[in-house]
Amino acid sequence: MFRLLVLGVAWLLWSGHYTLEEPLIAAFGVLSCGLVYWIAQRLRAAAPEHGERTLGWSVVPYLPWLLLEIVKADLAVAKIVLDPKMPISPRIIRVKASQRGDGARVLFANSITLTPGTISLAVREDHIWVHALSKEIGDDLQSGEMDQKVAGLERT
């Protein structure tokens, strides 16, 4: 029930409709929150138990670091695009994925894709195939900093 309350508060904050002047919008908000809650409960009930703990709130401290990495990558890609010589050297690289759980591995792959200049192509057990826009961007990703940050979330 707490999750339903959180959904309702999030909808209220993001929608900006704090009064009941437009009852149809409020009704759609209530219905959409209820539908999302119902679907989430059904998915939770249908999911096989692997004994894997979800990342939950441990992801929250990771988000500011990821946002900073996204901004740094934005600047690097902008520098490449604005350079008249367009110094791109696209490549496919294999990046180590040391996460134990599927959820953390998906978070890692999505973090790579969110970072400009890189796209996760395939996720395997212990690595992710990534398209990198340049050698420097690929080398930065292969340094393992993001991998270790995400793997560290499983330990908290």
**DSSP letter string over 3-18?**
HHHHHHHHHHHHH---
Domains and CATH numbers, the chain: 2-46 (no CATH), 56-155 (3.30.70)
Cross-strand bridge partners of residue 119: 131
Q: pLDDT at position 72, please? A: 93
DSSP track, 80-136: HHHSTT-----EEEEEE---SSHHHHHHHHHHHHHSTTEEEEEE-SSEEEEEESSHH
Q: What pLDDT does residue 102 have?
A: 85
Q: What residues in the chain have per-residue pLDDT under 50?
A: none
pLDDT at residue 49, as a whole number? 64
* pLDDT (0 to 100) of residue 98: 93
- Rounded distance, CA 92 to CA 73, Å? 17
